[in-house]
Amino acid sequence: MKGKNANVGIVIVSHSPLVAKGTADMVRQMVGESVPLSWCGGNAEGGLGTNAAGILEAIEAAWSDHGVAVFVDLGGAETNSEMAIEMLGEPRSGMVVVCNAPLVEGAVIAAAEASGGAPLAKVVATAEELSPS
């Protein structure tokens, strides 16, 4: 039986709340409820940007004992995601990976892989195959 924590979780981080939510909506439509999913967009004041505290909340919301793959749109999102992961502390921080993959396509393909029960390493590798060399 698949529960909330049965598959790798997916977190989407964008400088734009609309982009983050839209990407999460697309992922949810593709895989249904089979994958823990959360998103974070915008800075703490609601404008464009990202913030580590909000990303940490998103990771917690999509937490899976099988790990969490984080997808980001720009460099600042990656930096703040790495800070949020550090805030988790060990051993959980070792179970979260920021993927080097396109935001939308990467999140969708990773969620599809996760929905089939793939481990975190396979979910990340599949998404990262989409990155230009």
3-class secondary structure, 45: coil
- CA atoms 40, 10, 106, 78: torsion sign: positive
Looking at residue 3, its pLDDT comes to 41
What are the tens digits of pLDDT across the range 36-48?
A: 999 999 998 889 9
Q: Which amino acid is at 64?
A: S
Task: Quickly count: other Cβ atoms within 10 Å of residue 104's Cβ.
Answer: 17
**Overall average pLDDT of the 59-77 stretch:** 96
Structure pTM? 0.93
**Overall average pLDDT of the 85-109 stretch:** 96
Question: Of residues 12, 14, 15, 36, which has the active-site annotation?
Answer: 15
Band (pLDDT 50/70/90 cuts) for residue 51 is: very high
Helices 103-115 & 120-128 angle (0-180, nearest 10)? 150
Q: Which of 14, 5, 38, 36 is nearest to 24 (CA)?
A: 38
**How far is residue 100 CA from its own chain's centroid?**
11
**Overall average pLDDT of the 28-40 stretch:** 96
- Distance of alpha carbon 29 from alpha carbon 40, whole angstroms: 18
Q: Is the pLDDT of residue 20 over 80?
A: yes
In percent, how much of the chain has pLDDT > 70? 95
Q: Is the pLDDT of residue 133 over 70?
A: no
15 is a catalytic site residue? yes
Q: Is the pLDDT of residue 4 over 80?
A: no
